[in-house]
Amino acid sequence: MHIGKRIGIILVWVTGLVFVFAGVNNNDPYLVVLRGTGNLLLAITSVAVVFTLVRRDAWRRGRWAGKLLVVLWCLPPLAILTSHVTFELRKRSVLQTEPARARSLGRHFIVGYSSFDEVARLAEQGLIAGIYVTRHNVAGRTAAALKAEIAALQDRRRIAGLPPLIVAADQEGGIVSHLAPPLTALPSLASLAELAPDEQRAKAEEFGRIHGREMASLGVNLNFAPVLDLRPAARRNRFDFNTLISQRAISDDPAKVSMIAAAYIHGLEASGVGATVKHFPGLGRVRADTHHFSADLDTPIGELEATDWRPFREVLSTSDARLMVGHVAVGALDPGRPASHSKAVIDGLIRKTWNYQGIVVTDDLVMGAIYQHDFCTAVVEALNAGVDLLLVAYDGAQFYRIFACASNAANRDALDTGMLRDSEIRLKRTLEID
């Protein structure tokens, strides 16, 4: 057999295995780009390969090898169909949740979305407390179109007798300006770090007012900003594809971070938009990108309190900001468990030691540091730790799996009713959620 033909056969085998893998893992957020048209192309390609192999007598030739190759290429469409059926069954189960349960658990979720009709149904049934709008919601659209869409969702909530949706977005300025365009693209707050103190405060408040005014005009009422992580001293590693905190952090000086962030929040809140400080316990010392990998923070608590955590404590004590907790494990408090679902961090440190009684929201749960581990355990532990809002941003379709985790835990009495009751009180007080 010629070397070229051998290579061709090997490539057919390898490609077939890749297609099977894609089909089996079709619901995975890493493969979100394959859904819809991508799945159709995978299936059509698989059928075409099977047809070609059969026509060339691969089924008969080469004893078992040819038969196995044909069987291999029959598997991707079956795997895709199985994944789709699994997803639809879980979705149907969630949508049939008893109304009282739906509203009781639904008040804890903010979801990203692509389909208006799908998210409208979740909103009408009280299965979610809010939505997250980002680049794909504004791509190729006018501000007026997004405003009308948000207004339509709020109308449906009102007709259903439910409180207004939280409408959240990431509009930090700089590289994270997910609604710009159509909104104004402002520089990051880090661009103000070298100005005189008075000018820092004035410009930061102006940035906050601009963001707040423009977001409020769309119907967005919660901004996942500002970033309070300290800028890392050393250059981050080559595997940091998404966090890029060195470009987003305001400064490496805690006092400067606190001052600029507080002024920005004042401007944002004056325009009717809530602020969310992030990403506690801080990403400045962390080298791993939690979008894809687990991360640990092994610095002593005393040092963290004096540096990385100082802006969080100062800003939270002087504003109505929410607190976003990231997926970094604090070694001195709860080694190996991300802060986003650590009771030692959320209930122990934040609630009891710091006495912060505002809203705590997780970073996106569709991140590798959470998703690649025991997903359901993280969801249940987050609620039991006192987290108020769980964010499902990047791949909103994962909401059905996450909600099912919470609902199943409620069925087996694995949710802490005391924690849920306290969270309900905080949500009603802070966000006026019924």
Amino acid at 392: V
The residues of the chain scoring below 70 in pLDDT are 1, 58-63, 234-241, 432-434
Say how many residues make up the chain. Answer: 434
Number of H helices, E strands in the chain: 17, 12
| Predicted pLDDT of residue 433 | 44
Which helix (H) or strand (E) covers residue 360, if one does? Answer: strand 360-362
Amino acid at 204: A
Q: Tell me the per-residue pLDDT of 171-196, one tens digit each, with 9 for 90 and over.
A: 999 999 999 999 999 999 999 999 99
The set of residues, in sequence order, having a beta carbon less than 8 Å from that of 360 and lying 6+ positions away, is: 322, 323, 324, 325, 346, 350, 386, 387, 388, 389
The chain-wide mean pLDDT, for the chain, equals 93
Active-site residue identified among 289, 363, 364, 395: 363
| Predicted pLDDT of residue 373 | 84
| Predicted pLDDT of residue 228 | 98
Instruction: Looking at 131-219, list the stretches that DSSP marks H as alpha helix, in order from N- to C-terminal side.
Output: 135-138, 143-159, 197-218
The set of residues, in sequence order, having a beta carbon less than 8 Å from that of 288 and lying 6+ positions away, is: 239, 294, 295, 296, 369
Q: Tell me the per-residue pLDDT of 222-252, one tens digit each, with 9 for 90 and over.
A: 999 999 999 987 665 555 667 788 889 999 9
Cβ-based neighbour number of residue 272 at 10 Å: 12
Q: What's phi and psi for 245, nearest 5 deg?
A: -65, -25
Let me know: does 341 contact 381? Beta carbons within 8 Å: yes
CA gap 200, 206 in Å, rounded: 10
| Predicted pLDDT of residue 434 | 36
Which percentage of the chain shows pLDDT scores above 90?
A: 82
Let me know: does 398 contact 87? Beta carbons within 8 Å: no
Instruction: Pull the structure tokens for residue 46.
Output: 């698989």
Q: Tell me the per-residue pLDDT of 321-350, one tens digit each, with 9 for 90 and over.
A: 999 999 999 999 999 999 999 999 999 999
Active-site residue identified among 266, 291, 292, 327: 291
Cβ-based neighbour number of residue 116 at 10 Å: 12
Decide if 108 is catalytic.
no
Distances (CA, A) of 214 to 112, 142, 181: 20, 13, 11
Separation of CA 289 from chain center: 14
Decide if 422 is catalytic.
no
Cα torsion through 81, 83, 87, 92, rounded to 10:
40
**Looking at the whole model, is its pTM more than 0.95?**
no
| Predicted pLDDT of residue 234 | 66
CA gap 110, 211 in Å, rounded: 21
